[in-house]
Amino acid sequence: MIDLKKLTIKKARKALDSKEFSVVDLAQAYLKEIEKKNKELNAYLEVFDDVLEQAKVSDARIAKGESLPLLGIPLAIKDNILITGRHASSASKMLENYVASYDATVIEKLKKAGAVFLGRTNMDEFALGSSTENSAFGVTKNPYDISRVAGGTSGGSASSVSSDMALVALGSDTGGSIRFPSAFCGVVGLKPTYGGVSRNGLMAATSSFDVIGPIAKNIEDAEILFDVIKGNDVLDSTTITEKTYTKSSVKKVIGVPWNLINQEGLDPKIKENFEKVVKDFEGLGYKIKDIKLPNCLALYYIINFAEVSTNLARFDGVRYGLHKNGKNLLEDYLLSKGAGFGKETRRRILLGTYVLSAGYYDAYYGKAQRARVALRKDFVKIFSDIDLILTPTSPIPPWKVGEKSDPLSMYLADIFTVTANIVGLPAISLPSGFMDVEGLPAGQAGKKLPLGIQFMASHGGEDLLFEIGKKFEAIKGI
């Protein structure tokens, strides 16, 4: 019997190459877990019907002597990443029946690497949200407590890895959409440097923020998956080359923005956990430096709303997607978009249209873009004195499904994650421990919720994130 709980990519690779078990055996083990758990968790929107056929192809490659890091490794794919011939809905009624006509660049790379695609995972509609409650196809539940959210927008991917329904997964990150659910589900989530991974074949939310990245059970697995999907792509002019990446830490200084940590709104248990993590790194010989970072939520959401409104304008019900017949073309648009888009998506389209409108463009969007340029310069200066920035991933623990019906309270939860997207920096969320849930009935007493910390590095500094993450896992005995 395969112990999926303790399985890593490296362990699976060794077992597959030594014929301890086959790719078919491994795929069947994951399909069994999916059958057992997915109805309750709703992590997968679709489990592909050819998983075992894919596994047989990988077994044949192994039999011929091939041994690639991801050959035969089962993984899950977020529903906004295109795979030829597969449905890709971005968890929206607008694209419920859309079938991709080409592979995203990351999918091409994974196919060459021999990965086995288990299925497509649930998400907030068009990657807009922080909880996967905005999916048109139901909420994804947290494996640690099914009454709570898994985080978003890549909630299905994080939940699938956390619950052993996939060994690793791909998500996308616009303002924390990989890191946030990873923290809520107790797994590792990497948001690469902007342009580090091709966006070709990723459905656009906020094009200047979006990036595809890995979700895994440990740092090493995240690094292996990242190494396969990263790299320059002629189909994405924003991708960067290998020369961008930095090498090795020299200062051994970690910056902590205590001005954000000490403000109201941070859960006391999360602050306590964070302060313990800071002491852990001081014990490893790192110097902790107090730095000042601004609250970037307003800046982030102005740009987010603006780009969402323009990117989603293409879904007009004419060329593809949901179409409703009206009395005229305008009514076609109104009926199609009204039926196809969910509440949060409509909210962001309207707000984005407002900040881009005549008379408000300069006051909001123009000013936000100027502030973004200034912020990038500030970060160059900040990283001249430190290696990494450390914060909690989220200021609050996973909340109960339906608890945050007020969208503003959910937006505020993104305070630590959005900055990396605004300036294009790499960031990673690491499991940092657990907190007890108080006030539970006797039968549920002792339930714990996972917590996460976040490291940000300078542009192209993924190697520093992997380095610090491995040291942190060693402290925690992972």
Using DSSP bridges, classify how beta strands 74-78 and 116-121 pair: parallel, antiparallel or unpaired.
Answer: parallel
Q: For residue 103, how far is the Cα from the chain centroid? A: 20
Nearest to 215 by CA among 163, 179, 164: 179
* Alpha carbon distance 217, 431 (integer Å): 9
Nearest to 349 by CA among 392, 290, 316, 306: 306
* Alpha carbon distance 246, 380 (integer Å): 14
Q: Tokens 């005995």 sit at which residue?
A: 477
* Alpha carbon distance 137, 95 (integer Å): 12
* Alpha carbon distance 89, 103 (integer Å): 15
Q: Which residues of 58-95 are buried (b: 16+ CB within 10 A; e: fewer)?
A: bbebbeeeeebbbbbbbbbbbbbbbbeebbbbbbbbbb
Lookup: tokens for 162? 């956390």
* Alpha carbon distance 345, 15 (integer Å): 45
Collect all residues with Cβ–Cβ distance below 8 Å to 163 and sequence separation of at least 6: 33, 37, 41, 43, 143
Phi and psi of 271, rounded to 5°? -65, -40
Q: Where are the alpha helices (DSSP H) in 206-356?
A: 219-229, 258-261, 268-283, 297-311, 329-340, 343-355
Task: Please list the helix, strand and coil fractions of the chain in percent, rounded to the nearest 5, in that order.
Answer: 40, 15, 40
Query: Which listed residue (160, 177, 182, 458) is catalytic?
Result: 177
Question: 78 an active-site residue?
Answer: yes
Nearest to 421 by CA among 383, 459, 453, 452: 459
The CA-atom distances, in angstroms, between 132 and each of 44, 117, 355 are: 12, 21, 26
Query: Which listed residue (37, 78, 109, 191) is catalytic?
Result: 78
Lookup: tokens for 38? 């997915």
Q: Tokens 């959910």 sit at which residue?
A: 410
Question: 269 an active-site residue?
Answer: no
Q: Report, as residue numbers or ranges, the catalytic residues.
A: 78, 177
